[in-house]
Structure 1
Amino acid sequence: MAKTCTYFFTPQSPFAYLGHERFVALARKYGVQVEVKPCDLGKILPISGGLPLSKRAPQRQTYRLAELKRWSEFLNIPLNPQPKFFPVPGDPAAKLIIATRLAHGTDAALKVTGGVMRAVWAEERNIGDPDTLAAIAQEAGYDGKALLKSSETASVQAEYDRYTEEAIAANVFGAPWYVVDGEGFWGQDRLDFVERALAK
């Protein structure tokens, strides 16, 4: 039986972006079934003692920018630490990803997730804009307008709410967050540990 990894994230997270393709590659390498669960970090942070970026101390914000630059260079992944369209609400993109999974499956959802993340951090595109989201889904090979319409339904909102509640129940406090065999791993810099867990 294939091992399962639950993948909690917010689509506008730069660290989720830095880890996304590497995580997808690991899942393929080990034949892992991924549970794609975008969630609302805005509801999770107050419960877990975190602060939104705008409310963090200046020294923390400065260090974050330095870390993004370091990781971008180390991984050779293009990233603008201060993109034009950020901060940006993640809810519409998260719901597009959920709609994609419901219509086309996990691989499609992971593909669209990668497109959304690149749009923010490498392509200077606004993922808060419905037309941009539809275009990203279309570029991934799917009917962008149909998925966008689907993403606005009550059933997709219910899934999004459920994933957020599941993240809270799993003691998630940041993104990305990977869960393997009940063990949580926070951050793309923990992917070496995720791989060890998947390889067991």
Structure 2
Amino acid sequence: MKTIDYYYSTRSNFTYLGAARLNALANRFGHKIVHRPIILSVTMPAIGGQAFDARPTMLRNYAMNDALRWADYLGIPLQREPIHHDGPVELPSGIVIAAQRAKERGEEGNLDLLSLKVVEALWRDDRDIADEAVIFELCETTGFRDTRALIAEALSPAVQAELDRNCREAIMRGVIGAPTYFIDGENFYGQDRLEFVERALIRS
């Protein structure tokens, strides 16, 4: 099966705005999404960029207003400043990696839906995605079993090492922000490039 390499931050509002549409495209074209969560505060400085919190206030405000415009255009609810916007990434990113590993072992659960639910929980519902109780619920509702063990795996050294490796690979592959999609090695940055992703999938 052909794949879509998907580099994203689980705390990115633009990732949230594109997540459901990416899932729909993968389903439509029969591609498997390879989830590669990254930490933007690690990847951005390494390529000469700035993490969101380090950007000038004017630029941060513009980016948020732009996200709200896109949300309105797409008909997707988006909170401007969720209380839980900032916070640890180890669990929300780790749970996606752990769930992907579980799927590779043949376990039940909808990985793509779980990834969507994590970003929805933050940007739609303003829930604390670093809270184990929240992640437990999201895993349960997306069909994963033995959820306690999955959460423990998410926080394990092996999974956190994979998160670090994703960051290094993102830097090497020229990922300039989140979300970024790779189709047949071609890089598409931003949820506003999903039409180009679709065109690439047609050719793929």
Task: Pick the TM interval, shorter chain.
Answer: over 0.9
Q: Does residue 173 of structure 1 match 2:176?
A: yes
Structure 2 Cα separation of the partners of residues 152 and 87 of structure 1: 18
Aligned residues: 199
Displacement after TM superposition at 1:88 (Å): 2.3
Aligned to 1:68: 67
Q: Which runs of 5+ in 2 are unaligned?
A: none
Aligned to 1:42: 41
Q: Which runs of 5+ in 1 are unaligned?
A: none
Structure 2 Cα separation of the partners of residues 111 and 77 of structure 1: 16
TM-score, length-scaled by structure 1: 0.93
Percent of residue pairs identical: 35
Displacement after TM superposition at 1:65 (Å): 1.8
Structure 1 Cα separation of the partners of residues 40 and 54 of structure 2: 14
Structure 2 Cα separation of the partners of residues 145 and 78 of structure 1: 30
| Structure 1 vs Structure 2 CA RMSD | 1.6
Could you tell me whether the CA contact under 8 Å between 1:3 and 1:198 is conserved in 2?
A: no
Could you tell me whether the CA contact under 8 Å between 1:101 and 1:108 is conserved in 2?
A: no
- 2:110 partner SS: helix
Runs of 4 or more consecutive aligned structure 1 residues displaced over 4 Å after TM superposition: none
Could you tell me whether the CA contact under 8 Å between 1:79 and 1:122 is conserved in 2?
A: yes
55-64 or 10-19, which deviates more: 55-64
Q: Does residue 80 of structure 1 match 2:79?
A: yes
TM-score, length-scaled by structure 2: 0.92
Aligned to 1:31: 30
Residues 147-178 of structure 1 show CA distances to partners (whole Å, capped at 9, x for unaligned) of 11111222212222222221111011200000
Could you tell me whether the CA contact under 8 Å between 1:93 and 1:133 is conserved in 2?
A: yes
- 1:49 partner SS: coil
Residues 17-37 of structure 1 show CA distances to partners (whole Å, capped at 9, x for unaligned) of 000010110011111122111
